[in-house]
């Protein structure tokens, strides 16, 4: 701000200089000059004061404008007097598109099932949102249709799976029941062969004695070996289990093939052990037939003791006749041969 005192002093000095220069001017003229100088000084001071006030008003106006600009920066220009978005801003906001619902609908068809069901439901919801804002959106309409189709396909997949599981369970139940029936008959037959009754064992002992005499020229009795003991040894420690059962239908005929694992003594295995023992006998030291038969009988007894139980695989077939499973005729001999003579 200009120094008024300094300006006033300069004006007085100028007036004095003017008076000095007018040395020979009359007093009345001198007074007029002084008055003019004072009036000039007063006018100058008035102008300075007005200039100072104008500067202050300009500064205040500038500060007011800056404040208004700051407030306008704080409050977004796109908001109305109550902080709500104006209609112009709503028009400029991006509108939802139907791309997402369309993609979800297509994926719900591709992944029909649990995933497809979830995607289809989401696709329907999204497409409804878009159609609510844009009723003529083609992609949203297509997405809604695809999503509904995906949901239908997913439901059909669930129904098909449930039906398949039910049929599978029914099939297992049917075949499982048939297999159980076959195994029941097969177990009964194996029990008859591996664990005969006492009467059957006595008959088997007689047949073994005859067969031994037919093959070796002498009977077990001639060797001093009890045929009953031999028969009991043959069935001692025998056990079995069915390992596989296969059903088959051909030309309306139902058959079953049973495979069993049997643990039993084998006459064939015992014969191999007996052969080794007989070959070790020194016949030259035997003087009579009785001595020879006694030594052979002893070798038979030792061979029975030294022959271990062996595991045999037995396979035989059954046929369904009039709704009942029956072991094929002649199967008894084949099963016995596989167990005891192989």
Q: Tell whether 89 is covered by a domain.
A: no
Q: Is residue 55 part of a domain?
A: yes
Q: What are the pLDDT digits (tens) for 5-27?
A: 444 445 545 545 554 454 455 55
The rounded percent of the chain whose pLDDT value lies above 70 is 67
Q: Which residues, other chains included, contact 247 with Cβ-Cβ below 8 Å and sequence gap of 6+?
A: 175, 178, 179, 182, 254, 255, 256
Q: How many structural domains is the chain composed of?
A: 3
Is residue 200 in a domain?
yes
Is the domain of 143 the same as that of 243? no
Same domain membership, residue 103 and residue 32: no
DSSP assignment string, 93-156 = SPPP-SHHHHHHHHHHHHTTTHHHHHHHHHHHHHHHHHHHH-TT-HHHHHHHHHHHHHHHHHHH
Given a cut of 70, whether residue 305 has pLDDT beyond it is: yes
* Residue 324 placed within a domain: yes
Is 208 inside a domain boundary? yes
- Residue range(s) defining the domain that contains residue 114: 99-168
Write out pLDDT tens, residues 127-155.
888 888 888 888 888 888 888 888 888 88
Claim to verify: residue 142 and residue 223 sit in the same structural domain: no
- Give the pLDDT confidence of 253-274 residue by residue, as tens digits: 999 999 999 999 988 898 889 8
325 and 263 housed in the same domain: yes
d(CA 146, CA 6): 93
pLDDT number for residue 265: 92
- Give the span between the Cα atoms of 191 and 341, in whole angstroms: 18
């Amino acid at each position: 701000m200009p120094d008024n005192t300094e300006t006033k002093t300069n004006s007085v000095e100028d007036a004095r200089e003017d008076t000095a220069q007018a040395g020979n001017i009359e007093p009345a003229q001198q007074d007029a000059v002084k008055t003019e100088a004072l009036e000039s000084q007063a006018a100058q001071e008035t102008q300075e004061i007005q200039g100072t006030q104008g500067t202050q008003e300009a500064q205040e106006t500038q500060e007011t404008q800056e404040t208004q600009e700051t407030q306008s920066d704080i409050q977004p220009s796109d908001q109305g007097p109550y902080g709500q978005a104006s209609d112009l801003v709503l028009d400029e906001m991006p509108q939802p598109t139907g791309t997402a619902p369309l993609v979800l609908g297509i994926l719900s068809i591709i992944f029909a099932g649990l995933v497809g069901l979830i995607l289809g439901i989401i696709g329907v919801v999204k497409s409804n949102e878009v159609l609510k804002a844009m009723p003529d959106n083609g992609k949203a309409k297509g997405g809604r249709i695809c999503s509904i189709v995906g949901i239908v396909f997913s439901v059909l997949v669930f129904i098909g799976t449930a039906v398949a599981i039910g049929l599978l369970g029914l099939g297992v139940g049917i075949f499982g029941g048939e297999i159980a029936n076959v195994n029941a008959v097969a177990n009964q037959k194996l029990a008859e062969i591996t664990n005969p009754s006492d009467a059957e064992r006595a008959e088997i002992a007689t047949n073994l004695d005859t067969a031994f005499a037919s093959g070796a020229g002498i009977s077990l009795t001639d060797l001093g070996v009890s045929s009953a003991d031999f028969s009991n040894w043959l069935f001692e420690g025998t056990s079995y289990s069915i390992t596989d059962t296969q059903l088959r239908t051909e030309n309306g005929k139902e058959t079953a093939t049973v495979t069993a694992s049997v643990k039993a003594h084998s006459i064939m295995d015992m014969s191999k052990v007996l052969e080794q023992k007989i070959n070790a006998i020194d016949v030259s030291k035997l003087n009579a037939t009785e001595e020879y038969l006694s030594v052979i009988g002893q070798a038979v007894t030792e061979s029975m003791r030294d022959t271990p139980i062996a595991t045999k695989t037995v396979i035989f077939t059954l046929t369904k006749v009039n709704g009942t499973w029956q072991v094929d005729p002649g199967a008894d001999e084949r099963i016995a041969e596989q167990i005891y003579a192989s």
